[in-house]
């Protein structure tokens, strides 16, 4: 387990441990709040600007300058 502060200081090591399949839990004030685990290829989704634009509450994109 890592506190948020320790996870920030050691983020590369924390991510490497999660990628190896080790259980990585991040705590806030001693309580577990986040568990890290690797994303599988099946879970991965390419996030495109078009996808982000369709999200509820997405700000309107400025029009490209024509010139």
Please tell me the distance from the alpha carbon of residue 57 to that of residue 67, in angstroms, as a whole number: 30
Q: Is 26 a member of any domain?
A: yes
Sheet holding 31-36, edge to edge: 2-3, 24-28, 31-36
Q: What was the pLDDT predicted at 44? A: 64
Average model confidence (pLDDT) for the chain?
Answer: 83
Question: Among 3, 36, 42, 34, which residue's Cα sits nearest to residue 21?
Answer: 36
* Better pLDDT: 41 or 57: 57
- Whether residue 29 lies inside any domain: the answer is yes
On whether residue 34 sits in a domain, the answer given is yes
Name the residue among 28, 44, 24, 27 with its Cα closest to residue 36.
24
Q: Any idea what the CATH number is for the domain that residue 14 is in?
A: 3.40.1620.10
Location of structure tokens 């999200």: 55
Number of domains into which the chain is organized: 1
62 within a domain of the structure (yes/no): no
- What pLDDT score was predicted for residue 4? 96
pLDDT over 60 at 66, yes or no:
no
Query: What domain range includes position 45?
Result: 2-53
Residue 49 forms part of a structural domain: yes
Query: Do the beta carbons of residue 1 and residue 25 sit within 8 Å?
Result: yes
Q: Is residue 41 a part of any domain in this protein? A: yes
């Amino acid at each position: 387990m890592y506190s948020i502060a320790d996870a920030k200081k050691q983020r590369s090591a924390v991510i490497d441990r999660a990628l190896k399949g080790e259980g990585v839990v991040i705590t806030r004030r001693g309580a577990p709040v986040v568990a890290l685990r690797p994303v599988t290829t099946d879970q991965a989704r390419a996030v495109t600007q078009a996808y982000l634009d369709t999200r509820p509450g997405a700000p309107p994109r400025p029009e490209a300058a024509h010139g």
